[in-house]
Amino acid sequence: IFFRVYFFFGSKAPMDPQALYRTLEGTFNIDNNVRQQAEAQLKQAESHPGYLGIIFQAACADQVNADIRLAAALRFKNRLRNEDCDEDWKSPVQKDEEVVVRKALGAVIMAPSKVRSVLLEELQRILTYDSLSWEGLVTEVMQGLNMHKITGALSVLRVLCKRFEYKPEGEDAPLDNVVNKCFPLLIQMFQYINGLPNIAPEIAFMQKLLCKIYWSATNMRIPPLFFSNAQHFAQWLDCFLQVLKQPVQETDALSPHWKVKKWIGHILNRLLSKYGNPRGLKKHEQQLGQAFIDAYAMKFLEGWMTLCSWYRAKQYVSPQPLALALNYMDTAMDFKPTYEIVRGNLDVLMFEVLFPMLCFTEADAEMWQDNPQEYIRKLYDPIGDLYNPRLSASNLLLKLSYPTKIFHAKDCLNRFLVFITNQLNKYQADAQKDFQAKDGCLFAIGSLRRRLRLNDEYKDHMEPLIQAHVIPEFQNPNGFLRAKACWVCSQYSKVDWKNPETLLAIVKGLLALMNDPELPVRVQAGTSLKDFVKIRKTKEVVQPLLEQMVGSLFKLMNEIDNDSIIETLEYIIEKFGENLANAALSLCRMLCEHFVKTSPNLPDPSAEDADDVPANLGDEEEESALAAAACLRALCTLIAAVHEHEELYPQMEQYFVPLFQLLMTQNKSEYLDEALELISRLTYFSKKISPQMWPVAFATMDQAYREWAPDYLPQMLAPLDNFISRDPETFCRGSHNGVRYIQMVYNMMETCLSDEDMENDFQVCPKLMDSILQNTKDYPAEVNEYVPRMFDLIMRTMQQHSGMGAGFKILCMNVIACGLFYNAQLTIQYLAERQILAPVFKMWFDMIPNMTRYYDKKLAVIGLTAILQAMNTHGTAWMPATFFNAEQMKLISGIIVKLVLECHADSKRMDEEDDDDDDEEEESDDDDDDLDDDDLDDDDDDDFVDAGGKDGFKFSAEDGGESLNKLIKEAREVNFGDKFNFNDDDDDLDEEDYECIIVELEESLIFRDVMAEMGSKHQELWNTVMGSLTPDTKQKLEAAVKYAEEKKEQKEAEEKAKQK
């Protein structure tokens, strides 16, 4: 940015400024031909050197027409943000940097307000240049103040201070210079303005700028000036207090008079929350904090209560400062001096200030009638809650109802509930109903749900209260009360309902109101229904009404883009998926269609007009985007919900294929997470992946990764693994546009591991290699060529990134283990040819004590056992004799035994945890499913059959041997060389739920079978291995094998039962 500014100030422009001014003026001509010609000339002029400089001069020149100046400022801003600007702007600057920016600063200060507001945006970007001298910039601002260009100078000063608004201490040193030089003059200006008899809007705007400057300069810390000069701090507070108490006549919330009170509210709330308890401050801050509490906290509270009294007297009060006033009171409840002021006025505060804020207002009614979509948007807008007096009032009521401090009144809740009860009784008794007061009562009841629903004194009264005062409002002639009744019911959905008829009345009432004539009622009913679908007590009530619910929800989705409505549908699918199997295809089609309808397109960076498309979505587009994302989440839920009906998945693909073609494009990039999750679930639950899914989903993932989504490899891991494991034949033999699918994955891994910026994604690559090697044993002709290439990637990465940590090293060793499982001869041959056989095994053995995950230990057992199995199958001629000698084979066998026992212990622990989780889920969901909770007997020490037999081997009590720990120590101490060196101190791996071929294998049974075959083919080696085991170890091995056999039998029985 700075280089561009330097260019248009420092270069000699060959363009004629007057000619450019006339061209700008032509863009306003009423003659369409003249206007189009002027636009074309400006487009052509953009490529000329000096264009930006003249445009900027036109924006700042006093003699130029105001409209032309504004047009020039806008073109300057848009052109400066264009990434395709001339290379001259990027030329290096050696000196005069400060002079250049000071010229820009001075020009902005002198510009008229409309032009200045445009240029200030670019000034803020220019000031990010770190080497600027702030001394000169502050001088420029001071000159503007002295020349009576006060608004311009204050606006620029705010931008200067905002540069450090969120900078931590130590990085904001220039800010202290700004404060020291400018704040003494600013406080004098503030005091002078406050002393004026009449504050015009322009003067109030200056007050607002002064407050915003103070806010930015003190956001992270109080400047040193305030500690060295406490009187200066007090002067600012006095000015804030004076402005706070000044009455305001305007009835426009955008008036500068109300805006300045809003900024004072922000400042005071931060001061009270941060300095209200001096004991929690740093030592040098305590004196200042105590001074604020003693001299000002109560005064400001009284000022805010004065503002509330205006509201109580039916005077107009802007919502923003009113909400901030209540937030200040909320914080003041925690401190005794400020609480005592509120305590003396509690009844007035609760009944005459807070309660009216809870009621439906005329402004609400006007928006409800004229723009119901906007009413709904604001209702569900979390950002709008910051300045929502209704929400602030309910939060303060909730605070008053929780007496957490010893000095708090204990009867606030009872007093307020008595008031609410009287209001409800009055409503029922009066012929002329006060519908707005009833709305306030319902809102209060709903807001206090956490206090009332769980409190023993009140919880038993909530169901009768809802029966008497809430459910009847489903029939109220006023739509806002029907909607509020829906909301209150949802807040108490988890009440311990005694009468099933109450639940039935609520659910049927909500369902009926989803066809209400007024849109806000329909939306509130649909979102409230979600809370009743969640709870198990409504299952029998909801189930017969499912078809009607789903139909009403889709009808509502076609009327408005609201993600909460789709969340309700998602909960219904999740809870009642089995009952919706017949409607699954219709649900799938409608959700796909709704996504296409609601999802906004992002600009395609490759398009010529990409820069003309706004990057930020508007409120309506954002609502649509959220609704579209909710559709994708609902589709994910639907796929999982019908998993017992696998025949549906191929039929669903007719809707998913065009959806994936749309999703896997860059202008839908904001949905890539949901798209990958959708692909992952569909490929996981399908029995077989259809041929059309490979080009539509797999190949498009590769294209997205190559072209615009290089950061998404971790999210692509699950769907890629599903493609590989579910259809290894197509993965190995298939191709798209001449590129094999296995080559696509290899390219992804190579790209990732070759990019140092992608170091955080490195762990994905060994996991992908694991998947390939585990699932493609039956396709050696297609895969063998890739095995050494994958090993090369891993070895190169380990050497080049030796600081990656123990976790990454374990993943790399897992690749070697999977390579042994895939083809032990090929893997050993590769390691021997690269002369890294000994270093790799040393590294592997070194890592065994660091392996905490069951998967890593199991994989090590399978890989090392594969060496023994290859020796049984192919003899020993292929094995490098210098490495695989008798002693080394004894060490490897000992390590296998140790890991088998650890895997057995881990397996038992995880099975017990799964049983506990099942019990908890059964208890929480109140399910009636019969679960087999019998504990497996692992203490039975039945022997294996004889060693030479084909079914296994028998350990005898007479066998002696060494300690397994000693074997591990020996293995680690063998001098294999130091080709690889890693940091073992970090990068621990989390336990993950793996579902792959390796996990399904029982390592203890494989080891038993391999050792049994070794006993018949390599008796001498078998005797050596068996002789190294103690009787206790043999007994534990027998228990592990028995436990594995029982698990295997149990799984087979469960599978048969499932098939039946």
> Letter for the amino acid at 720?
L
Instruction: Look up residue 910 and give its amino acid.
Output: M
Longest dimension (CA), the chain: 109
Closest-CA residue to 851 (of 974, 966, 988, 970): 988
Q: How many CB atoms lie within 10 A of CB 21?
A: 20
Asked if 492 and 449 touch (Cβ cutoff 8 Å), the reply is: yes
β-partners of residue 422 are none
pLDDT given for residue 615 in this prediction: 42
State the pLDDT at residue 468.
Answer: 95
pLDDT at 91: 34
Q: How many residues does the chain have?
A: 1060
Question: Cβ contacts of residue 250 below 8 Å, gap of 6+?
Answer: 257, 258, 316
C-alpha–C-alpha distance, residues 250 and 755, integer Å: 60
| Cβ atoms 203, 164 nearer than 8 A | no
CA distance 182 to 187: 9
Q: Please, which residues bridge with residue 740 across strands?
A: 735
Number of Cβ within a 10 Å radius of residue 57:
20
Per-residue three-class SS string for 530-557: HHHHHCHHHHHHHHHHHHHHHHHHHHHH
What is the rounded CA–CA span in Å between residue 349 and residue 353?
A: 5
pLDDT of residue 917: 58
CA distance 812 to 937: 37
Q: Which of 183, 175, 180 is nearest to 210 (CA)?
A: 183
918 and 985 Cβ atoms separated by less than 8 Å: no
pLDDT at 610: 39
Look at the alpha carbons of 291, 294, 295, 298 in this order and tell me if their dihedral is positive or negative: positive
Backbone region of residue 170 per phi and psi (left: phi > 0; alpha: psi in -120 to 50; beta: other values): left
Question: Residue 334: how many CB atoms within 10 A of its CB?
Answer: 16
Residue whose tokens read 């009787």: 1031
| SS3 label, residue 960 | coil
- Side-chain half-sphere exposure of 772, counting CA atoms within 13 A: 31
Q: How far apart are CA 293 and CA 332, in angstroms?
A: 11
R_g of the chain computed on alpha carbons: 37
Q: Which of 810, 789, 806 is nearest to 859 (CA)?
A: 810
Q: What is the Cα–Cα distance from 645 to 647, expressed in whole angstroms?
A: 5
Query: Cα(first)–Cα(last) distance of the chain, in Å?
Result: 71
Ranges of beta strands (E only) in 696-839 are: 735-736, 739-740
* Closest C-alpha to 819, from 752, 769, 890, 886: 769
Beta bridge partners of 736: 739
Cβ proximity of 181 and 225 under 8 Å: no
Helices 319-332 and 389-401: crossing angle, nearest 10°?
Answer: 20
The confidence score (pLDDT) of residue 918 equals: 54
For helices 500-513 and 479-491, the axis angle rounded to 10 degrees is: 140
Strand partners, 735: 740
Tokens representing 132 are 């600027």
Q: Six-digit token pair at 919?
A: 């019990």
pLDDT of residue 77: 74
User: Distance between CA 394 and CA 1023 in Å, rounded?
Assistant: 79
Using the structure block, give the residue that is written with the tokens 């990454």: 808
Q: Please state the three-class secondary structure of 653-707 as a single string.
A: HHHHHHHHHHHCCHHHHHHHHHHHHHHHHHHHHCCCCCCCHHHHHHHHHHHHHHH
CA–CA distances in Å: residue 733 to residues 246, 724, 898: 80, 11, 39
Please check whether residue 558 is in contact with residue 523, taking contact to mean a CB–CB distance below 8 angstroms. Answer: no
Q: What is the pLDDT of residue 994?
A: 55
- In sequence order, what are the residues at sequence separation of 6 or more whose Cβ sits closer than 8 angstroms to the Cβ of residue 740? 733, 734, 782
Spell out the residues 6+ positions from residue 329 whose beta carbon is closer than 8 angstroms to its own.
Answer: 301, 304, 305, 342, 349, 396
Rounded CA separation 482/522 (Å)? 10
Residue listed under structure tokens 């300057």: 76
Q: Where are the alpha helices (DSSP H) in 46-165?
A: 51-60, 66-80, 97-110, 113-126, 134-146, 150-162
Angstrom distance (rounded) from CA 671 to CA 663: 7
Low pLDDT (below 70) residues in the chain: 1-15, 49-50, 52, 80-105, 107, 122, 124-136, 146-148, 382-385, 601-619, 915-995, 1060
Question: Are the C-beta atoms of residues 944 and 1038 closer than 8 Å to each other?
Answer: yes
Closest CA to 915 of 1050, 1040, 1037: 1050
| Residue in 752, 771, 853, 760 with CA at minimum distance from that of residue 810 | 853
